[in-house]
Structure 1
Amino acid sequence: MSTFTGGSARNPHTGTIYRHTVSIVDTDHDDADTRALAEAIESILLGGDRTLSPNDLAERTGIDADYSRRLWRSMGFPITDDDAITLTDNDLAAMKRVKHALDLGVVSPATMTALARQTGQVFSQLAESEGNELFRVALSAVNDDPDGKDALVRLLADDLVPLIESMHSYVWRRQLAAYVARTVARYERSGTADVDVTVGFADISGYTSLSRHATESDLAGLLELFESVATDAVGAHDGRVVKLIGDAVLFTTAEPTAGVAIAAELLALWPADRPPVRAGLATGTVLRRVGDVFGPTVNIASRLTSLSRPNEVRVDEKTAAALVDRHRLVEQDPQDVRGYDGLRSWTLMSGP
C-alpha cells in the first residue's frame, strides 16, 4: 500500500489546520493512481473528507432543507440525494455564516440566492480554466514520475492552492474598490449612477475562417496573445473588461474618449504579422447584471464591429458627437444590420 501525505492547509475562516493523507493499493493500472491523486487534491480543496449529508447540514445549521438545497443548486452543485454523504466541515462553516447573516437581516433569502448564483457562475469559469491547468500538471507528474506524487500533493497543499486562493481574494477586493470609485465618480458627475457609458467590442478579423485551417496550438497562442493585448489596453485607460469571448473582448469605459483610446491602442499594439483586429464603440445606457452588460448600446457596438474593416474602429452617433473636436471622423453610408435599419456610423481616422 502506498500513501499520499498531502501536507496541510489552514481554513482561512476557522483557523483549523487540515492534514491530508490518502492511501491506495499499489497497482500497475494508471487509473488507480489517478483516482487516488484526485482524492488527495479534493481533500485539499474541500478542507477535509466528506462526512455530512445535506440533511445533516440543514439540521445542524437550522436552515430550511428546501432553501439549503436551492442555495447549493444556485451555485451549480446538484443535490440529488439529501441523505448522501457529500459535504464537509467547510460546507457546514459556510452555511452557518449564511444562517447568521440571514438571522441578522444583513441579506434576505432572495438576495442570498442571487449572490450564490452570481458567485457560482463566475467561479465556475475560473475553476474550469484553473482546474484544466492543475489537472494537466498533475497528470503529467503522475505519468512522468510515479514516485513524485507525494511531492506534487504537498506542492498543491502548501503553495499552489493557497496562492490561487489568495489571488482570488486580492483581485476581488481591488475590483470591488475600483467599482466603488467608478460609481462615486458617476454620482459626482450627474447625481445618479445610471448614466451613459461607452461600450466597446473588438475582435480578430477573419478568425472563423482561420480556425478551420490553423492547428489547435496556433489558435491557443493567438487567443492568448489577443487576451493579453486587449486586457493591457483596457487597463491602461481605466476601462473594464466585461468578458473575453474567444477571439473578442467586450469592455466599458466612463467616457467616449477613453473608449477610443483603448480601441486605438489595441490596434496599435497588435502585431502586424497576425490576423488584423477591428473594433466598434457605442455610447448610451446599459443594463448591468451579474457583471455583464446588456441592451441596445451593447448590440450597436457589436454591429459596428462587424461593419468595421480590418484595422478599423467604427463609432455610433453619440460617440462621434463626443469626439468631433478631438478626433478626425469620416461618416459612412447608413447600413442595415440585424435589428437596426439604416445604422449610422463613423470611422475613426488616424493622424490629425
Structure 2
Amino acid sequence: MPSSRGRCPLSAFVRVLRRHRRIREFAEADLLDGLDGTERSIRIRILQHLADRGISTDGLASATREGQLGHQLLDVTLSPHGAMYSLEQISQSTNISPEDVERWFRSMGRGVSTSTSVDYNDDDLRLAQLLTEYRALGIADAGLFAFARIVGRNTSTLADASKSLIQKNLDTNRDRPEIALQFARELQRFAEFQSQLLHRAVATRLRQQISQQIRADITAEHAPEAQDIAVCFADMVGFTVLGEQLTPTELGDLADRLDTLTTDLIEPPVQFVKTVGDAVMLLSPDPTRLAAVVLKIVTAAQQHGLPPIHAGIAWGTAVRSAGDWIGQPLNRASRIATIAEPREVLADSETMRRIKSAEMTIESAGTHQLKGFTGGNQLYRILLKQQKGDQSPMQDR
C-alpha cells in the first residue's frame, strides 16, 4: 500500500492540474480579458472561490457581463455554510413546539417555510435555543416576544440601510468585485461585536436580508425557484405614534394579537410568511383568495379592538430563498400599504387583473407615486360587496 508520503505529492499535483484547467476555462470564456499582473491574479482567486461554491462557468460569464460578479461574491460569502435544518428538526432539537418556533422566528422577522423544508442553519438553531434559555430564566413569553419584535424591527431597518449603502458601492465598483469581500468582512466583524442575543439575531437577520435583497437584483425571473405570486403587507395605522404612548410590552401585545388573529384566519393557498414589527406578510398564488383573507383580517382587527389595519397587495415574480421570499412584488406591496388609508386594502393593476370574485368590488384609487418605483402607479381599492357605500376609510384617521 502506498504511504501517505507518496500520496501527498500526487494530491498536490491533481490540485494544481485542476486549477490550471479552471484557469483555461475562465480564459476561454473571456473572463480574464484585459487583465494582467495583480488584477488577473485577484480575478482568478475570485472566480475560483465562486466556482468552488458551485457556480458554473456560464453563470460566472453571465454575472461578469452584467457587472454582477461582486454581488455574487458577497452573496456566496454571506450565505450560511454547514448543517441545515427544517423547522421540525429545530423543534425536536430545542423541545419547543413547532408553533412557538414559527412564532419566535416571525417575531424576529425571520421568514417561515413549511415544517419539513430544510431552510435553516446553525444560527437559526441557536436563535431558537435562546427562547428555551430565556424561558428557563422565568421570563414570560409576552415580554420575550415583545422584545423579539423590537429586535426584528430594528435589525430590519439596519439591514435596509446597510443594503442601500452596499448596493451603491457595488454599483460604483462593478469592475472591482473584490470590494464585495471587504464589505462581507466588515459585516461579519460587526456581528461579532454584539452581545449573545444581538449577535445571533443581528447576524442572522442582517446576513440573510442583505444577501437576499442583493440577490433579488441578480436573480433571473426564469430561475427554477421563481414564481408568479401575490404578496401582501398589512400593518396597523399609527403604530409609531402608539409607540410614544404605550410600553414596549403593550406594543408587543398589540403585534402579538395581530399575529394570532392572522394565524387564525389564514386559509390555503394563502401563506403567512412572517411578522415585521407591526406588519404581517402574506402571499398566495391566488390573488382572489389572498384579498379575501386580508379583508377578513381588516374586519376582524376592528372587531377585536385593534388599531385600524391597512394593506397593500402586489403581483409579480418572487423567489423563495431560505424560508423567506425576495423580489419586486414584496417591495411594491410594502410601498402600497404605506399609502393606504385606515381599513383600506389597495392593490396594483397586475393584481386587479387577476382577481375574480363575485364577493368583491374593485374601485379605482387613482395614480400614485411609490417610493423606489418610477412613474405613476395605478392602484385599486378592494372591498367586500356590502362595504360599497359604507363609511369611508378616511373617517377612521
**TM-score normalised by L of structure 1:** 0.49
Q: Which of structures 1 and 2 has the bigger CA Rg?
A: 1
More strand by share: 1
Q: Relative CO higher for 1 or 2, CA cutoff 8 Å, sep ≥ 6?
A: 2
